[in-house]
Amino acid sequence: MDGETIQEKLLREGLAKTAYLYNDLTMLDAFHDAQQTAIDAGKELWSIPGYAHVDDDV
């Protein structure tokens, strides 16, 4: 995917979950969208029951 960050790629593949510090929310919507793709597909860490959970504010 052209222009995709490494963070988005990891999230989309289910190899990471969103986290952020302080008020840097610049890419948060894009990261949540990428993560949702992995959640919907049940990829990697999202395929293990109880291993990962979605933050309340996702």
- Angstrom CA distances, 26 to 41, 44, 49, 50, stand at 25, 26, 30, 29
For residue 51, tell me if it sits in a domain: no
How far apart (Å, rounded) are the C-alpha atoms in residues 46 and 15? Answer: 9
Q: Compute the radius of gyration of the chain from its Cα atoms.
A: 11
Q: Is 53 part of a structural domain of the chain?
A: no
Q: How far apart are CA 45 and CA 42, in angstroms?
A: 8
Q: Quick check: is 16 in a domain?
A: yes
CA atoms within 13 A on the CB side of 7: 12
- Asked if pLDDT for residue 56 goes beyond 70, the answer is no
Q: What is the pLDDT of residue 39?
A: 94
- pTM, rounded to two decimals: 0.77
Q: What is the pLDDT of residue 47?
A: 92
| Confidence band of 42 (pLDDT split at 50, 70, 90) | very high
Number of domains in the chain: 1
**Other C-beta atoms within 10 Å of 16: how many?**
20
Domain that holds residue 18: 6-46
